[in-house]
Amino acid sequence: MSAHDSSTHDGSKDVVVHTSDTLPERFSNPGHPEHHLRRSDQDPRANKRAELQVVVLFLISVIGTIGFLVAYFTVTPAGTPSSIRNSNLLLGLGLFFGLMGIGLAAVHWAKSLMNDHEKSEERHELRSPEPVRAQAVEVIQEGVADSAIGRRGILKGAMVSALALFPLSIAVPLIGNIGGNWNVSTLKHTMWKKGTRLTIDPTGRPVKASDLTIGSVFHIIPDGLDKTADPMEEKAKAIVLLIRLDPRDLKIAPDREGWSYDGIIAYSKICTHVGCPVALYEQQTHHLLCPCHQSTFDVADGAKVVFGPAKRPLPQLPITVDSEGYLVAQSDFHEPVGPSFWERLK
Amino acid sequence: MKALAARRHHRNAPVVVTLLALLTTGGLYAALAPSTAHAAEPTANDIAAGGKLFQANCSTCHGPAAGGTASGPSLVGVGAAAVDFQVSTGRMPMAASGPQVIAKPPTFDAKQTAELAAYVASLGAGPAVPTAEQVDPSKGDQATGMALFRTNCAMCHNAVGAGGALSQGKFAPPLANATPTVIYEAMLTGPQSMPVFNNDNITPQEKRDVIAYLVAQRSNATSVNDLGAFGPVSEGLWAWVLGIGTLIGCAVWIGAKSS
């Protein structure tokens, strides 16, 4: 109370009360607006015209249905995209006119030909009368007493177990369908290792350093991808974008000296935001865009984020050439690829 | 034949047979090998005419010897393919500077374009204009082309080549009206923002497969109007504006009193 007492604020002035005599105590029910006769009520010709309009609408429906049946039997999908298109289009138009005609005709009939006198229905109270409520409570109590749930302990136990176990039939498949592999450490590694050749996606041809001209972009998968147990799973983690820049444009961080080869640089193609394939490369600006949310990475400067929702640079794959001149990986990525997960390092 | 058969054990016979085999193979190769050069080799006259056109129309930005200035890059070594792409699509000569050089009706006819290309090609070796056979869609495999297009091109140019946006006003143009030759040249030379897809990355046969896939998309529309084939954005807009607009209109009509 002391806090309240020490307040200098006068609460009584917060609400301004108007005591005007111009406002009535209660508004009276204005009742229905005056009834206006429609044209079809006053003019027999308008009435006849409305009737004709309804008939025409029903006729449109009849024509639509007949058109649907004709299209069903004459325009059959024959395996080419255009025949499927024509069949879908004609069936859809037939259905549209068939149903729309009936709907419009029914509403138009009700609005223009049936009487439109206003009617009132009083609302009744939602709460049931007292005796009905008392009777309902009595019925429940009688049922509880009759089942003797208080005395028959084993029955109560059986019922509770059945009710408690049933939700498992929904929960277990839900959790089980998330995936069979709960080994989180697989998210930290890809199939790249020392000496794995860089090959072209999807043909699998190995790439020589001399194959890349300046401004070239190669979409890369690791050699031997198709021989792994689950190529799609491995590809989803291991895809790489190989780009050759003018070495003078390239800014190389001191801890990444020797990760690129003569201006050829390799970055993970998986966006660090939510994992879309980042592949829109602008040759002139060296910017790499993600098609999903427009995260933009600067390829010339360590694939750092220059725009968009991504938080981290794309992981870089250290590369070199082997004795035959083919590009190979020096090791796996030095950090997990793709979006963050709960046990991501760094 | 008897005389030949009698001499087949002669000690010079292997040498003679080898020479004959080499001659036959070489002759056949020379006769049948695909020619990578343009159908008609450019003559000195073409190069001279191209040089004059270049001086009159291009040298302001690209320099009198095509060595480049502050306003335009050097053209030494870009090859005839790059010139044919830029000039035949009307991108060059450029009308106004902007985020991207845009295509417009070409300024030069086919002969003048070929002369310009011959002149620029004479300045330094570069990719040549592909032959009609190299870009013939009927000789490419659409399925392989689709796999290649999906991996290398679809993220910018859209899954069916309808084009798409890049950053800061730049865009990947739609490919529906690009000629097979222009598509081939774009892959080979990497104009503007587009990366280069040289013949070691996408081989000439694979380039023809990509062209076959793109040309097949033109006659393969699955709807009467594909709304630009951009997917959920344009289709969603139509569904919201037309579909939901119609439903609201129906609701208003049902609720309104008849006049």
Task: Note the pLDDT of residue A6.
Answer: 47
Q: Which residues of A touch B190 (CB under 8 A)?
A: 215-216, 283
Same domain as B109, residue B69: yes
Amino acid identity at A181: N
Q: Let me know whether B146 and B184 are in one domain.
A: yes
pLDDT for res A115: 87
Q: Are B108 and B147 contained in the same domain?
A: no
* pLDDT band at A268; cut points 50, 70, 90: very high
* B16 part of a folded domain: no
Quote the mean pLDDT of chain A.
88
Q: In this structure, are B214 and B154 located in the same domain?
A: yes
Do both A298 and A191 map to the same domain? yes
Distance CA A334, CA A255 (A): 12
In 3D space, the residue among A243, A233, A180 whose CA is nearest the CA of residue A209 turns out to be A243
Q: Are B69 and B95 found together in one domain? A: yes
Same domain, A108 and A190: no
Q: Which of A36, A216, A296 sits opposite B167 (nearest CB)?
A: A296
- pLDDT for A40 equals 85
CA dihedral A270→A276→A282→A283, nearest 10 degrees, is 30
- Contact yes or no for B258 and A112 at CB 8 A: yes
Q: Quick check: is A340 in a domain?
A: no
Q: What is the CATH number of the domain that holds B206?
A: 1.10.760.10
> Does the pLDDT of residue A41 top 50, yes or no?
yes
Show which of A112, A137, A166 is a domain's final residue: A112
What is the domain extent for residue B113?
44-123
pLDDT given for residue B36 in this prediction: 46
Residues B118 and B145 in one domain: no
Residue B227 lies in a domain: no
Q: Tell whether the model's pLDDT for residue A102 goes beyond 90.
A: yes
pLDDT score of A344: 64
Query: For tokens 């309240």, what's the residue?
Result: A4
Per the structure, how many domains does chain A have? 2
Predicted local confidence at residue B42, as pLDDT: 76
Domain for residue A180, yes or no? no
Residues of A with CB under 8 A from a CB of B: 36, 38-40, 81-82, 84-85, 89, 107, 111-112, 116, 200-203, 207-208, 211-219, 243, 277, 279-285, 287, 289, 291, 294, 296, 307
Whole-number Å distance between alpha carbons of B154 and A334: 29
Q: Do B151 and A243 touch (CB under 8 A)?
A: no
pLDDT at A20: 61
Option in A107, A116, A279 nearest B257 (CB): A116
Chain A residues in contact with B201 (beta carbon < 8 A): 200, 211-212, 216-218
Same-domain check for residues B49 and B119: yes
The per-residue pLDDT for A307 is 92
A75-86 confidence digits (pLDDT tens) = 988 877 778 888
Q: Which residues of B touch A111 (CB under 8 A)?
A: 254, 257-258
Domain-embedded: residue A255: yes
- The pLDDT value recorded for residue A332 is 93
Indicate whether B151 and B86 sit together in one domain. Answer: no
Distance from CA of B8 to the nearest CA of A (A): 44
Domain-ending residue, one of A112, A131, A149: A112
Of the candidates A346, A342, A282, A343, the residue with the CA atom closest to the CA atom of residue A313: A346
The CATH number of the domain holding residue A253 is 2.102.10.10
Q: What is the mean pLDDT of residues A33-50?
A: 88
Which one has a higher pLDDT value, B232 or A17? B232
| pLDDT tier for residue A15 given thresholds of 50, 70 and 90 | low
Question: Tens of pLDDT along B215-233?
Answer: 988 876 666 677 777 778 8
**Do A81 and A202 fall into the same domain?**
no
Same domain, B114 and B144: no
Could you tell me the residue range of the domain that residue A281 belongs to? 186-329
ipTM score of complex: 0.71
pLDDT digits (tens, 9 = 90+) for A128-162: 999 999 999 999 999 988 988 878 888 889 999 99
Confidence bin at A298 (pLDDT 50/70/90): very high
Q: Do B142 and B110 share a domain, yes or no? A: no
What is the per-residue pLDDT for B257? 83
Contact B167/A211, CB-based, under 8 Å? no
B198 at A interface, C-beta within 8 A: yes
Quick check: is B22 in a domain?
no
Please indicate, yes or no, whether residues B100 and B163 belong to a single structural domain of this protein. Answer: no
State which of B95, B123, B151 marks the end of a domain: B123
Query: Could A283 and B257 be called an inter-chain contact, meaning their C-beta atoms sit closer than 8 Å?
Result: no
Element (H, E) at B165: strand B164-165
Chain-chain contact of A211 with B200 (C-beta, under 8 angstroms): yes
Q: Do A283 and B192 touch (CB under 8 A)?
A: yes
Average pLDDT, integer, range A23-47: 84
Q: Quick one: pLDDT at residue A343?
A: 60
Nearest Cα residue to B200 out of A37, A171, A325, A208:
A208
Asked whether residue A301 is assigned to any structural domain, the reply reads yes
Q: Does residue A110 have a pLDDT over 70?
A: yes
Does A1 score more than 60 pLDDT? Answer: no
Banded model confidence at residue A4, pLDDT cuts 50, 70, 90: very low
pLDDT band at A346 (very low <50, low <70, confident <90, very high): very low
Whether residue A102 is found in the same domain as residue A231: no
- B229 domain residue, yes or no: no
Window 143-162 of B: residues touching A by CB (8 A cutoff) are 147-148, 151-152, 155-156
Name the residue facing A81 among B152, B193, B222 (closest C-beta): B222
B202 touches B210 (CB < 8 A)? yes
Q: Which residues of chain B have pLDDT under 50?
A: 35-39
Give B-chain residues touching A215 at CB under 8 angstroms. 190, 195-196
**Does residue A310 share a domain with residue A199?**
yes
Best interface-test mutation with B: which of A235, A282, A298 has the largest number of B CBs within 10 A? A282
The total number of structural domains that make up chain B? 2
Instruction: Judge whether A247 lies within some domain.
Output: yes
The single-letter code of the amino acid at A241 is: L
B116 in any annotated domain: yes
Residue A81 in domain:
yes
Is residue B38 domain-resident? no
Instruction: Tell me whether residue A244 is in a domain.
Output: yes
* SS3 assignment for chain A: CHHHHHCCCCHHHCCCCCCCCCCCCCCCCCCCCCCCCCHHHHCHHHHHHHHHHHHHHHHHHHHHHHHHHHHHHHCCCCCCHHHHHHHHHHHHHHHHHHHHHHHHHHHHHHHHCCCCCCCCCCCCCCCCCHHHHHHHHHHHHHHHHHHCCCCCHHHHHHHHHHHHHCCHHHHHHHHHCCCCCCCHHHHHCCCCCCCCEEEECCCCCECEHHHCCCCEEEEEEECCHHHCCCHHHHHHHHCEEEEECCHHHCCCCHHHCCCCECCEEEEECECCCCCCECCEEECCCCEEECCCCCCEEEHHHCCEEEECCCCCCCCECCEEECCCCEEEECCCCCCCCCCCCCCCCC
Residues A205 and A101 in one domain: no
Q: Which of B100, B233, B258 to substitute to test the interface with A, most A CBs within 10 Å?
A: B258
Q: What pTM value is reported for the model?
A: 0.69
- Whether the Cβ atoms of residue A218 and residue B168 lie closer than 8 Å to each other: no
Query: Do B213 and B142 share a structural domain?
Result: yes
Evaluate whether A279 touches A267 at the Cβ level (below 8 Å).
no
What pLDDT sits at residue A65? 97
Asked if the structure places residue A5 within a domain, the reply is: no
User: Using one digit for the tens of pLDDT, what is the confidence trace for A158-201?
Assistant: 999 999 999 999 999 888 887 767 777 888 889 999 999 999 98
For position B254, what pLDDT does the model report? 92
Residue B205 touches chain A, beta carbons under 8 Å: no
Which chain A residues are Cβ-neighbours of B196 within 8 angstroms? 213-217, 283
Cβ-nearest to B151 among A202, A284, A296: A202
